[in-house]
Amino acid sequence: MLKVGIIGWRGMVGSVLIQRMHEENDFESIDAHFFSTSQSGGKVRILKSQESTLLDAFDADELIKMDILLSCQGGDYTKKMLHPLREKNWSGHWVDAASTLRMNSDAMIVLDPINKEAIDKAIEKGNKNWVGGNCTVSLMLLAIHGLIKKDLVEWVSSMTYQAASGAGAQNMKELLIQMGELSGSLDNIKPDSSILDLDKDVQLMMNSERFTKKLFNAPLAGSLIPWIDEELENGQSREEWKGGVETNKILKSNGHKAFNVDGLCVRIGAMRSHSQALTIKLNKDYPIKEIELLIASANPWVNFVPNNKEKSIKNLSPAAVSGKLSISVGRVRKLNVGENLLSVFTVGDQLLWGAAEPVRRMLNILTNIKL
Ligand code: HSE
């Protein structure tokens, strides 16, 4: 069995990954070893059959004993450790959830329902670095997979509604604290309370010095934040830039027609599911019923939601989707503002298909071919 070293298994993405690996019995076909940046030597029970002794995640000599290293430890760890391992002539496979390597020419962004052929070819050619894509990119590509297969897309404008989980576990907690602080400021809520007075209390609380906003630097509960990640010189946020470049890299890798993607990325007070309102310019007129069919049947994960009020409210929201592998896709209709413009609203779990699932599946691809 291949030796697989897992780093960052305790974090949020790592925990979801381990959960999924148990669900799919992945541990039965690998010899798994767990590394820690802070508690090497300690014992953990992650595998059902035995306790594991944690290995030192900064010990290159231990790491190079692995055939595959899978890191959910974050970009700083990748920057620190991968190069020294390659310097030691380690020729194993590095599978990573962080963004650090994504745009490197020797790394492939993996989203196997879209680019499995390219992954197979890259394995044959000796590629060793595999990286999961940005969450909004992976979720969007799976949502509109049917249009991609038919090469129907000229461009996409994606307006995102991104959950707190994308910023990290501590940010999710900060969102909950903010929610608590806002509702705590409403102790005197009564059926006959004046809504304007209640609203004033909320407004005062979210803008007061004592409101908790150490991580987000702004109120998210009861509000939103229209910027995610760093500022780039062209006015885009880094998150918006990733949407375009990563989509193109994934599509081109597999010989699909690439298209431009741009739009505004916005953080909202959802917990772990990202939503996106897509405006899609089609390159030809196509009947709406056929578009619906293409989207609905593209892959096993699309949960197509007919464009009506009841089904949209019930099935097309973070509340309905979180914790599920399915990606809800709905509000599909032709827009009235121009020719061949389609609207799509899609919601997917940021920690599953948005982060852990593509790297879990890549690990399986590598272990199935036995290297
Ligand atoms: N960058 C994403 C976000 C998460 O901030 O929501 C990871 O892809």
List residues with catalytic annotation: 135, 274
The atom number, within ligand 1, closest to the CA of 133 reads: 8
Atom of ligand 1 nearest to the CA of 137: 8
What is the Rg, in whole angstroms, of the alpha carbon atoms belonging to the chain? 22
**Ligand 1, CB cutoff 6 Å, lining residues:** 134-135, 162, 166-167, 228, 239
- Name the phi and psi angles at 102, rounded to 5: -50, -45
Which atom of ligand 1 lies at the shortest distance from residue 134's CA? 8
Closest-CA residue, ligand 1 atom 2, reads: 166
pLDDT tens, residue by residue, 231-284: 999 999 999 999 999 999 999 998 898 999 999 999 999 999 999 999 999 999
The dihedral region occupied by 214, where left means phi > 0, alpha psi between -120 and 50, and beta the remainder, is alpha
Closest CA to 341 of 147, 71, 76, 146: 147
The secondary structure of residue 134, as a DSSP letter, is: P
- Stated pTM of the model: 0.96
Task: For residue 141, give the nearest of 358, 362, 359, 364 by alpha carbon.
Answer: 358
Alpha carbons 100 and 76: distance in angstroms, whole number: 8
CA of 158 to the centre of ligand 1 (A): 14
Question: pLDDT tens, 2-61?
Answer: 999 999 999 999 999 999 999 999 999 999 999 999 999 999 999 988 899 999 999 999
